[in-house]
Amino acid sequence: MARNLILYCCLVAAVAVSVRAAPQDKLENLDVDEILNNDRLLKSYIQCMLDEGQGRCTNEGKEIKSRLPKFVATGCGDCNPSQLDKAVKALKHITEKHPQEWIKLKAKFDPTGEYAKKHAETWKQRGVNF
């Protein structure tokens, strides 16, 4: 009986440690609203994506930039609900309020327009017009 209790406690402790040690999405706590509502901050993120502004990027900016090619290629098809919500919010804002920057971003990350065509209807259903 005591042996089973010890085994059970060890198992619970191992699960608790593994859950705590599970990698967290580096962008999970990114406040997209804060970025989108601050033109200076948004500009710095866009410059980071475009390799402008002397290449200065925050860690979050570098992480976003590293994920953008896959994001563009899949149309956020493998995004979790939180990532999709942030993507829709950001794309809507940039396409509507910063169209010149949007043109530059599209030119860099989808130069042939292949992915825009492939995912246009999906994004339209999400409220984003390319």
Instruction: Please give the DSSP secondary-structure letter assigned to residue 24.
Output: P
Confidence of residue 81 (pLDDT cuts 50, 70, 90): very high
Q: What is the spatial distance between Cα 76 and Cα 119, in angstroms, rounded to a whole number?
A: 9
- Residue 103: C-alpha distances to residues 66, 79, 98, 110 (Å): 19, 23, 9, 10
CATH number at residue 65: 1.10.2080.10
Count up the domains in the chain and report the number: 1
Does a structural domain hold residue 68? yes
Does a structural domain hold residue 34? yes
Does a structural domain hold residue 37? yes
Q: What is the spatial distance between Cα 51 and Cα 40, in angstroms, rounded to a whole number?
A: 16
Domain enclosing residue 39, as ranges: 27-125
pLDDT tens digits for 37-69?
Answer: 999 999 999 999 999 876 689 999 999 999 999
Does a structural domain hold residue 58? yes
